[in-house]
Structure 1
């Protein structure tokens, strides 16, 4: 199954650029980087600032995420690009989603509650998976 904005919740999220658009904890809004680990209830995001990197864990429940899907991540099938909801709200710097900006990038906003499950179970394509 191709990675498209419609199928994103059923795919592997590791490696995708992500930004926290909304959260129950206002301190988490604006966190952005690449997903380095996904568990049932959290996303671990590698954030790079001023040449250093650190990993922040963001709970899925109570958060809304914006993922950037590039042609490379989507494979051969190209999806039309969309405008980021936060495109001009963040000042310059080491901005993972800004680095992805351009033609062939789709920004997908997903409520974290739609991602609450074991990643391996959510990405199944056979059997009795409710995610198919």
Structure 2
């Protein structure tokens, strides 16, 4: 049996705010939250089987340029949805700007950036 991806842990400026829009737009729920390393805080948000661990060290942080040119950088996070158009409308209504729409095998997709500059890909497979 191949390995199964359970979670991804990455740093955001405000885990509570990020988890809130993920709950609203992706239909996820908070699985756990609490103290983390170095005086930080982490929130696990996702489904019952998979989640994102949203970490903040609890002190001011600066972004480090483009992740696409940084070895070890996070390029984007992809989620699949059943209704791409409805999800895009909800994302736009939340105030995020969508772009880079594409329709190629195996599905349609678009991208957006959150308030931390993290890129998300939203895909609907046919």
Could you tell me the TM-score, scaled by structure 1's length?
Answer: 0.28
Q: Which structure's CA Rg is the greater one? A: 2
Q: Give the structure with the higher percent helix.
A: 2
Q: Give the structure with the higher percent strand.
A: 2
Higher relative contact order (CA 8 A, sep 6+): 1
